[in-house]
Amino acid sequence: MSSIDVPLKDGGFGSTRRTDNWWVEPILVFLGYMAFIVYATWAALQGNNYLCTTQCGGADYLSPMYSPLLYTSAPAWWPAFLPFSAAMLILPFPGLFRFTCYYYRGAYYKAFWMDPVSCTVGEPRKTYRGEKKFPLILQNVHRYFLYFAIIFVFILLFDGYRALWFTGADGAKHFGIGVGSLVLILNPILLGGYTFGCHSFRHLVGGIKDVLSGSPGRKKAYDCVSCLNRGHMKWAWVSMFFVGFADVYVRLCSMGIWHDWRIF
């Protein structure tokens, strides 16, 4: 079947016949991403107030941005001229998983690169590059960072479990529930909804097969992932900001600004 190459018509950046407020969504996406990026960068460079213990009634609350806590001070191999924070060894993995996510790509391409800024709206480009050339071809690493993201979900679930145990006056651990416990348990649940609804995970579970009817277990898993995938955008936004909220909660409790309420 023959094809017709239709050249792009440059109507000028921002030119459109649309009468709706098409510019609202890209602006909100830009502001939302920038707010999280600025805060996450600041929090990662602090290197303190990421763990709340005595200030939280003997709890063991660890910020998700610093989990797993590999080092509390700069290791011997760390370059002396660089400031050290344990979060620098953690955040690149979930960060790159989100950065290369199919939903995030479509969102920040519009909001930051304006490629395109919105449907049927003129953009500041002359040609179409796609993701087949450097550097955008590197977006294909998303499928590999999925494995790291899954590992982090289970690590954070373990942190949530640890947040249910408080050190008593006798020095022993006792089961309890604080507001921080619920925050640190809800965080990996939201991250799991985002991670296990990922397009790459959906392909891994069942997308690689032409026929799923012969594998009922795989079919059920595929349907479950597809259900999460339908709300992928919502999971992406809610889980992203809740990671920031969890860090804020632990940080302010550690600083004594907030006080963790012991429920049980």
pLDDT, tens only, 185-216: 999 999 999 999 999 999 888 877 777 777 78
Amino acid at 153: V
pLDDT, tens only, 86-130: 999 999 999 999 999 999 998 998 888 887 788 878 777 777 667
In this prediction, residue 38 carries a pLDDT of 97
| Strand stretches in 110-254, DSSP E | 165-167, 173-175
Percent of the chain with pLDDT strictly greater than 90: 59
In this prediction, residue 210 carries a pLDDT of 73
For every residue of 167-199, DSSP letters joined together read E-TTS-EEE--BHHHHHHHHHHHHHHHHHTT-H
**Element housing 61 (H / E):** strand 61-62
pLDDT, tens only, 122-178: 777 777 667 777 777 888 899 999 999 999 999 999 999 999 999 988 889 999 999
Cβ atoms of 124 and 176 within 8 Å: the answer is: no
d(CA 9, CA 119): 14
Please name the residue that has the structure tokens 């940080």: 251
Please name the residue that has the structure tokens 């600025």: 38
Cβ atoms of 46 and 40 within 8 Å: the answer is: no
